[in-house]
A and B are shown apart, each in its own frame.
Chain A
Amino acid sequence: MNFAGIDEREVDRVHELLKKEAADGGYRFNPDVEFTKNLVRGLLRNEQRYGYRACPCRLASGKRAEDLDIICPCDYRDADIDESGACYCALYVNESIANGAKLAAPVPERRPPRSRRGNRNTVRSVQTGSLPSLSLPSLSLPFPVWRCRVCGYLCAREHPPEACPICKASKDRFERFI
């Protein structure tokens, strides 16, 4: 697929960058380069029309706040790789698909349908399996703990970082964890 105003050199540059960032964070790219470049074209097209890199395989609303969970890499990537071997688009895959031992297959949609996307926090805890409630002694922590919704990175500081040091997700994708 090709889109007006999306330069192939930019596609190559972003493709290499995302692949490197994935490897740096312990993730693997799909080895089918033609396929992954198509997904990168889709990401750049979405950035061009919505202002952020919404998942190319899902219908974005065009409102960042409503689409935070599907900005690539999406909130569902880790669970999909764990259960299906690949993220929903199959841009990110597990080791056996990355080394060619297995092929990526369709991944069931984990994101709640439109009618059940009301409260992000409620929906999220249902989708990712609710945690046993932490029965911490009521100690007063010197800092709040923030969790990256994309990769689970935790940090104790006044505010979340501008970008997750592991998966590069933006600040607005962190949630207060403790």
Chain B
Amino acid sequence: MAFEHVNGKKMGKVMLYALSTCGWCAKTKELLRQLGVDFDYTYVDLLEGTEQDEAMNMVERWNPSGSFPTLVINDRKSIVGFREKEIREALGV
């Protein structure tokens, strides 16, 4: 699956599943940038065919409603939606 990497402080494995057109996804990505953490993101709407299906299966594993943004931290915890306080707490920043 195609992920874009953003360099920053290593706070664990931080994966953001987002849409390129979504306002809350943009805010979540911007928050991660501001916090300066190392993370990967993918715009699921820009993926095609099986790659998009795989991404959706992954999103639904963490968030059965399949909504965006879905943030997965260390393959253990997921945060759905732009929840600034929860994101800061989960990343310990």
Contacts and interface: CB of A to CB of B under 8 A. Distances in A.
Interface of A: 1, 3, 35, 38-39, 41-43, 45-46, 56-60, 89-90, 106-109, 111, 113-114
Q: Which of B21, B65, B80, B81 has the most CB of A within 10 A?
A: B21
B20 interface: yes
A58 B68 contact: yes
Interface of B is mostly: loop
Contact of A109 (B22, B23, B56, B65): B65
B26 A113 contact: no
B51 interface: no
A113 B25 CA distance: 19
Contact of B44 (A1, A59, A89): A59
A2 B82 CA distance: 20
A163 B77 CA distance: 44
Nearest to B44: A59
A113 B64 CA distance: 7
Nearest to B47: A59
Interface residues of B, number: 21
Nearest to B52: A59
B60 interface: yes
Interface string B8-21: 00000000000111
**Ranked 3 nearest A-B pairs via Cβ:** A106-B81, A42-B21, A56-B21
B21 A113 contact: no
A105 to B, nearest CB: 8
